[in-house]
Amino acid sequence: MSQLSAEHATDTAAESKVFDPDCHPLFREVPSSVEFKKLRKRLLRETRQAISDYKMVPDGASPEKTKWLICLSGGKDSYTLLAVLMDLKWRGLLPVDLIACNLDQSQPGFPQHILPEFFERYEIPNLIVRENTYGIVTDKLPETSTYCSLCSRLRRGILYRTARELGCEAIVLGHHRDDALETFMMNMFHGGRMASMPPKLVNDEGDLMVLRPLMNSSEADIEKFSKAMEFPIIPCNLCGSQDGLQRVQVKNMLQQWEKETPGRLGIMARALAHVRPSHLHDAKAFDFVGLRPNTGEKGESDQEPCAAAEAMTEKLFGNEF
Protein backbone atom coordinates (compact mmCIF):
# COMPACT_ATOMS: atom_id res chain seq x y z
CA MET A 1 0.00 0.00 0.00
CA SER A 2 1.30 3.49 -0.83
CA GLN A 3 2.21 5.99 1.88
CA LEU A 4 -0.81 8.14 1.03
CA SER A 5 -3.09 5.13 1.17
CA ALA A 6 -1.63 3.98 4.50
CA GLU A 7 -2.06 7.40 6.05
CA HIS A 8 -5.67 7.51 4.88
CA ALA A 9 -6.36 4.03 6.20
CA THR A 10 -5.14 4.91 9.70
CA ASP A 11 -7.96 7.44 9.97
CA THR A 12 -10.49 4.61 9.69
CA ALA A 13 -11.50 2.58 12.70
CA ALA A 14 -10.48 -1.05 12.32
CA GLU A 15 -13.38 -3.08 10.95
CA SER A 16 -13.72 -6.72 10.11
CA LYS A 17 -13.88 -7.36 6.38
CA VAL A 18 -16.00 -9.73 4.37
CA PHE A 19 -14.86 -11.31 1.09
CA ASP A 20 -17.42 -11.57 -1.71
CA PRO A 21 -16.23 -13.02 -5.04
CA ASP A 22 -19.58 -12.32 -6.74
CA CYS A 23 -19.28 -8.55 -7.13
CA HIS A 24 -17.13 -5.92 -8.82
CA PRO A 25 -13.46 -6.22 -7.75
CA LEU A 26 -13.75 -2.90 -5.89
CA PHE A 27 -16.18 -4.50 -3.45
CA ARG A 28 -14.71 -7.96 -3.01
CA GLU A 29 -13.33 -7.08 0.40
CA VAL A 30 -15.31 -4.43 2.28
CA PRO A 31 -16.36 -3.77 5.89
CA SER A 32 -18.90 -6.30 7.16
CA SER A 33 -20.72 -3.85 9.44
CA VAL A 34 -24.43 -3.16 9.08
CA GLU A 35 -23.62 0.56 9.02
CA PHE A 36 -21.44 0.19 5.92
CA LYS A 37 -24.04 -1.94 4.15
CA LYS A 38 -26.68 0.72 4.79
CA LEU A 39 -24.33 3.46 3.61
CA ARG A 40 -23.52 1.58 0.41
CA LYS A 41 -27.20 0.95 -0.31
CA ARG A 42 -28.06 4.59 0.37
CA LEU A 43 -25.45 5.87 -2.07
CA LEU A 44 -26.62 3.39 -4.70
CA ARG A 45 -30.25 4.39 -4.19
CA GLU A 46 -29.53 8.12 -4.30
CA THR A 47 -27.43 7.77 -7.44
CA ARG A 48 -30.04 5.65 -9.20
CA GLN A 49 -32.66 8.24 -8.28
CA ALA A 50 -30.60 11.09 -9.75
CA ILE A 51 -29.90 9.12 -12.93
CA SER A 52 -33.63 8.38 -13.27
CA ASP A 53 -35.00 11.81 -12.31
CA TYR A 54 -32.78 13.66 -14.77
CA LYS A 55 -32.77 10.90 -17.43
CA MET A 56 -29.00 10.71 -17.59
CA VAL A 57 -29.14 7.43 -19.52
CA PRO A 58 -30.76 7.84 -22.97
CA ASP A 59 -33.41 5.48 -24.28
CA GLY A 60 -31.93 2.43 -25.94
CA ALA A 61 -28.58 2.82 -24.20
CA SER A 62 -26.14 -0.09 -24.16
CA PRO A 63 -22.41 -0.46 -23.40
CA GLU A 64 -21.84 -0.83 -27.15
CA LYS A 65 -23.54 2.50 -27.94
CA THR A 66 -23.23 4.68 -24.83
CA LYS A 67 -19.94 5.54 -23.17
CA TRP A 68 -19.21 7.76 -20.15
CA LEU A 69 -15.87 9.29 -19.19
CA ILE A 70 -15.61 9.18 -15.37
CA CYS A 71 -13.33 12.01 -14.26
CA LEU A 72 -11.13 10.78 -11.41
CA SER A 73 -9.02 13.32 -9.56
CA GLY A 74 -7.95 11.04 -6.72
CA GLY A 75 -10.18 12.75 -4.15
CA LYS A 76 -12.91 11.15 -2.04
CA ASP A 77 -15.75 12.42 -4.26
CA SER A 78 -14.47 11.05 -7.56
CA TYR A 79 -13.44 7.71 -6.02
CA THR A 80 -16.94 7.33 -4.58
CA LEU A 81 -18.50 8.29 -7.92
CA LEU A 82 -16.44 5.66 -9.73
CA ALA A 83 -17.20 2.96 -7.15
CA VAL A 84 -20.95 3.57 -7.12
CA LEU A 85 -21.22 3.64 -10.93
CA MET A 86 -19.11 0.48 -11.25
CA ASP A 87 -21.34 -1.18 -8.64
CA LEU A 88 -24.49 -0.19 -10.53
CA LYS A 89 -23.07 -1.46 -13.81
CA TRP A 90 -22.02 -4.76 -12.20
CA ARG A 91 -25.59 -5.20 -10.94
CA GLY A 92 -26.95 -4.62 -14.45
CA LEU A 93 -28.55 -1.31 -13.50
CA LEU A 94 -26.42 1.00 -15.64
CA PRO A 95 -26.30 0.04 -19.35
CA VAL A 96 -23.30 2.19 -20.30
CA ASP A 97 -19.59 1.65 -20.84
CA LEU A 98 -17.46 3.34 -18.17
CA ILE A 99 -13.92 4.62 -18.63
CA ALA A 100 -12.07 6.19 -15.69
CA CYS A 101 -9.91 9.13 -16.71
CA ASN A 102 -7.31 10.96 -14.68
CA LEU A 103 -5.71 14.17 -15.90
CA ASP A 104 -2.14 14.41 -14.60
CA GLN A 105 -1.50 18.17 -14.66
CA SER A 106 2.21 17.95 -13.77
CA GLN A 107 1.70 19.41 -10.31
CA PRO A 108 4.82 19.26 -8.13
CA GLY A 109 4.73 16.18 -5.94
CA PHE A 110 1.88 14.48 -7.78
CA PRO A 111 2.20 10.72 -7.09
CA GLN A 112 1.90 9.34 -10.61
CA HIS A 113 1.89 5.70 -9.48
CA ILE A 114 -1.20 5.84 -7.24
CA LEU A 115 -4.01 5.79 -9.80
CA PRO A 116 -2.43 3.39 -12.34
CA GLU A 117 -1.89 0.90 -9.50
CA PHE A 118 -5.47 1.43 -8.29
CA PHE A 119 -6.92 0.88 -11.78
CA GLU A 120 -4.88 -2.25 -12.36
CA ARG A 121 -5.67 -3.73 -8.95
CA TYR A 122 -9.43 -3.36 -9.42
CA GLU A 123 -9.57 -4.11 -13.16
CA ILE A 124 -10.98 -0.71 -14.11
CA PRO A 125 -10.82 0.46 -17.75
CA ASN A 126 -8.90 3.71 -17.66
CA LEU A 127 -6.91 6.39 -19.40
CA ILE A 128 -4.21 8.63 -17.92
CA VAL A 129 -3.86 11.95 -19.75
CA ARG A 130 -0.75 13.99 -19.00
CA GLU A 131 -0.80 17.73 -19.78
CA ASN A 132 1.35 20.41 -18.15
CA THR A 133 -1.53 22.72 -17.25
CA TYR A 134 0.25 23.55 -13.99
CA GLY A 135 3.03 25.19 -15.99
CA ILE A 136 0.50 27.20 -18.01
CA VAL A 137 -1.33 28.41 -14.89
CA THR A 138 1.81 29.42 -13.00
CA ASP A 139 3.08 31.22 -16.09
CA LYS A 140 -0.15 33.20 -16.53
CA LEU A 141 -0.94 34.05 -12.90
CA PRO A 142 1.06 35.69 -10.09
CA GLU A 143 2.37 33.44 -7.32
CA THR A 144 -0.07 34.97 -4.84
CA SER A 145 -3.10 34.06 -6.98
CA THR A 146 -5.53 31.20 -6.46
CA TYR A 147 -5.03 28.87 -9.41
CA CYS A 148 -8.29 26.90 -9.12
CA SER A 149 -10.46 28.88 -11.56
CA LEU A 150 -8.05 28.88 -14.53
CA CYS A 151 -6.90 25.36 -13.74
CA SER A 152 -10.51 24.16 -13.78
CA ARG A 153 -11.20 25.72 -17.19
CA LEU A 154 -8.09 24.17 -18.71
CA ARG A 155 -8.90 20.81 -17.18
CA ARG A 156 -12.47 20.85 -18.47
CA GLY A 157 -11.30 21.63 -22.02
CA ILE A 158 -8.87 18.70 -22.00
CA LEU A 159 -11.52 16.35 -20.66
CA TYR A 160 -13.96 17.44 -23.38
CA ARG A 161 -11.34 16.75 -26.01
CA THR A 162 -10.56 13.34 -24.51
CA ALA A 163 -14.24 12.41 -24.36
CA ARG A 164 -14.66 13.26 -28.04
CA GLU A 165 -11.61 11.21 -29.01
CA LEU A 166 -12.97 8.19 -27.14
CA GLY A 167 -16.48 8.58 -28.55
CA CYS A 168 -18.04 9.30 -25.16
CA GLU A 169 -21.49 10.81 -24.84
CA ALA A 170 -20.80 12.39 -21.44
CA ILE A 171 -18.17 13.35 -18.92
CA VAL A 172 -19.22 12.48 -15.38
CA LEU A 173 -18.17 14.53 -12.35
CA GLY A 174 -18.19 13.80 -8.62
CA HIS A 175 -19.92 16.95 -7.37
CA HIS A 176 -22.42 16.23 -4.61
CA ARG A 177 -25.31 17.85 -2.73
CA ASP A 178 -23.09 20.05 -0.54
CA ASP A 179 -21.17 21.34 -3.57
CA ALA A 180 -24.47 22.38 -5.15
CA LEU A 181 -25.60 24.21 -2.01
CA GLU A 182 -22.26 26.00 -1.67
CA THR A 183 -22.46 27.11 -5.31
CA PHE A 184 -26.04 28.30 -4.83
CA MET A 185 -25.08 30.41 -1.81
CA MET A 186 -21.99 31.75 -3.58
CA ASN A 187 -24.07 32.83 -6.57
CA MET A 188 -26.64 34.49 -4.33
CA PHE A 189 -24.17 36.24 -2.02
CA HIS A 190 -21.54 37.26 -4.55
CA GLY A 191 -23.09 36.89 -8.02
CA GLY A 192 -26.54 38.37 -7.51
CA ARG A 193 -28.30 35.40 -9.09
CA MET A 194 -30.04 32.21 -8.00
CA ALA A 195 -28.19 29.36 -9.70
CA SER A 196 -26.41 26.18 -8.70
CA MET A 197 -24.66 23.19 -10.24
CA PRO A 198 -27.11 21.40 -12.54
CA PRO A 199 -27.17 17.61 -12.32
CA LYS A 200 -27.19 17.45 -16.12
CA LEU A 201 -26.23 19.93 -18.83
CA VAL A 202 -24.98 20.16 -22.40
CA ASN A 203 -21.59 21.78 -22.97
CA ASP A 204 -21.29 25.07 -24.89
CA GLU A 205 -20.40 23.26 -28.12
CA GLY A 206 -23.56 21.17 -27.81
CA ASP A 207 -21.91 17.80 -28.41
CA LEU A 208 -21.34 16.42 -24.89
CA MET A 209 -23.34 15.95 -21.71
CA VAL A 210 -21.96 16.84 -18.28
CA LEU A 211 -23.47 14.61 -15.58
CA ARG A 212 -23.35 14.74 -11.78
CA PRO A 213 -24.95 11.52 -10.48
CA LEU A 214 -23.97 12.15 -6.82
CA MET A 215 -26.14 15.26 -6.63
CA ASN A 216 -28.49 13.63 -4.09
CA SER A 217 -25.69 12.46 -1.79
CA SER A 218 -24.20 14.29 1.18
CA GLU A 219 -20.51 15.01 1.61
CA ALA A 220 -20.65 13.38 5.05
CA ASP A 221 -21.80 10.07 3.56
CA ILE A 222 -19.18 10.27 0.81
CA GLU A 223 -16.47 10.93 3.41
CA LYS A 224 -17.56 7.89 5.47
CA PHE A 225 -17.71 5.69 2.39
CA SER A 226 -14.30 6.79 1.17
CA LYS A 227 -12.68 6.05 4.53
CA ALA A 228 -14.39 2.67 4.82
CA MET A 229 -13.21 1.72 1.31
CA GLU A 230 -9.68 2.93 2.13
CA PHE A 231 -9.27 4.75 -1.17
CA PRO A 232 -5.70 6.03 -1.75
CA ILE A 233 -6.57 9.72 -1.52
CA ILE A 234 -4.40 12.21 -3.38
CA PRO A 235 -4.52 15.66 -1.72
CA CYS A 236 -6.00 18.51 -3.74
CA ASN A 237 -3.49 21.14 -2.58
CA LEU A 238 -0.34 19.81 -4.22
CA CYS A 239 0.03 23.01 -6.22
CA GLY A 240 -0.03 25.13 -3.06
CA SER A 241 -3.28 26.81 -4.10
CA GLN A 242 -6.71 26.45 -2.56
CA ASP A 243 -10.18 27.44 -3.63
CA GLY A 244 -11.12 31.00 -2.69
CA LEU A 245 -11.73 32.10 0.88
CA GLN A 246 -15.33 33.00 0.04
CA ARG A 247 -16.22 29.40 -0.76
CA VAL A 248 -14.49 28.22 2.42
CA GLN A 249 -16.58 30.69 4.44
CA VAL A 250 -19.80 29.49 2.81
CA LYS A 251 -18.84 25.85 3.41
CA ASN A 252 -18.13 26.52 7.08
CA MET A 253 -21.43 28.38 7.43
CA LEU A 254 -23.42 25.50 5.94
CA GLN A 255 -21.63 22.95 8.10
CA GLN A 256 -22.39 25.00 11.18
CA TRP A 257 -26.07 25.15 10.23
CA GLU A 258 -26.13 21.38 9.82
CA LYS A 259 -24.43 20.94 13.18
CA GLU A 260 -26.97 23.17 14.91
CA THR A 261 -29.97 21.68 13.08
CA PRO A 262 -29.24 18.20 11.69
CA GLY A 263 -31.03 17.63 8.41
CA ARG A 264 -31.13 21.29 7.38
CA LEU A 265 -28.90 20.82 4.35
CA GLY A 266 -31.15 18.05 3.09
CA ILE A 267 -34.13 20.41 3.28
CA MET A 268 -32.16 23.12 1.48
CA ALA A 269 -31.16 20.66 -1.24
CA ARG A 270 -34.79 19.68 -1.79
CA ALA A 271 -35.60 23.35 -2.26
CA LEU A 272 -33.37 23.42 -5.36
CA ALA A 273 -35.82 21.00 -6.98
CA HIS A 274 -38.99 22.83 -5.85
CA VAL A 275 -38.84 26.30 -7.40
CA ARG A 276 -41.82 28.70 -7.49
CA PRO A 277 -41.15 31.36 -10.12
CA SER A 278 -44.35 33.21 -9.13
CA HIS A 279 -42.93 33.72 -5.63
CA LEU A 280 -39.63 35.12 -6.84
CA HIS A 281 -38.90 38.36 -8.68
CA ASP A 282 -37.72 37.37 -12.14
CA ALA A 283 -40.08 38.76 -14.77
CA LYS A 284 -38.35 36.61 -17.40
CA ALA A 285 -39.21 33.44 -15.47
CA PHE A 286 -42.83 34.36 -14.67
CA ASP A 287 -45.33 36.61 -16.48
CA PHE A 288 -45.95 39.23 -13.82
CA VAL A 289 -46.86 41.77 -16.51
CA GLY A 290 -49.78 39.69 -17.74
CA LEU A 291 -50.99 38.70 -14.27
CA ARG A 292 -54.38 40.31 -13.59
CA PRO A 293 -57.53 39.34 -11.66
CA ASN A 294 -60.43 37.78 -13.54
CA THR A 295 -58.35 36.96 -16.61
CA GLY A 296 -57.81 33.28 -15.98
CA GLU A 297 -54.12 33.89 -15.30
CA LYS A 298 -53.11 32.77 -11.83
CA GLY A 299 -50.03 32.59 -9.69
CA GLU A 300 -49.02 29.21 -8.35
CA SER A 301 -50.62 29.81 -4.95
CA ASP A 302 -51.68 32.63 -2.69
CA GLN A 303 -50.51 30.80 0.42
CA GLU A 304 -47.91 32.20 2.77
CA PRO A 305 -44.57 32.15 0.89
CA CYS A 306 -42.53 31.64 4.05
CA ALA A 307 -42.57 28.00 5.16
CA ALA A 308 -41.37 28.89 8.66
CA ALA A 309 -44.23 31.36 9.15
CA GLU A 310 -46.66 28.79 7.74
CA ALA A 311 -45.49 26.16 10.21
CA MET A 312 -45.74 28.59 13.14
CA THR A 313 -49.29 29.61 12.14
CA GLU A 314 -50.34 25.97 12.00
CA LYS A 315 -48.75 25.30 15.39
CA LEU A 316 -50.55 28.25 17.04
CA PHE A 317 -53.93 28.07 15.37
CA GLY A 318 -54.24 24.62 13.83
CA ASN A 319 -56.79 24.61 11.03
CA GLU A 320 -58.57 27.72 12.27
CA PHE A 321 -57.00 29.87 9.56
* HEC assignment per residue over the chain: CCHHHHHHHHCCCCCCEEECCCCCHHHCEEECCHHHHHHHHHHHHHHHHHHHHCCCCCCCCCCCCCEEEEECCCCHHHHHHHHHHHHHHHCCCCCCEEEEEEEECCCCCCCCCHHHHHHHHCCCCEEEEECCHHHHHHHHCCCCCCCHHHHHHHHHHHHHHHHHHHCCCEEECCCCHHHHHHHHHHHHHHHCCCCCCCCEEECCCCCCEEECCCCCCCHHHHHHHHHHHCCCCCCCCCCCCCCCHHHHHHHHHHHHHHHHCCCHHHHHHHHCCCCCHHHCCCCCCCCCCCCCCCCCCCCCCCCCCCHHHHHHHHHHHCCCC
**Residue closest to 67 by CA, chosen among 89, 97, 39, 47:** 97
Does 239 count as an annotated binding residue?
yes
Does 148 count as an annotated binding residue?
yes
Q: CA-to-CA distance for 14 and 36, rounded, in angstroms?
A: 13
Annotated binding-site positions: 148, 151, 239
The binding site for [4Fe-4S] cluster comprises: 148, 151, 239
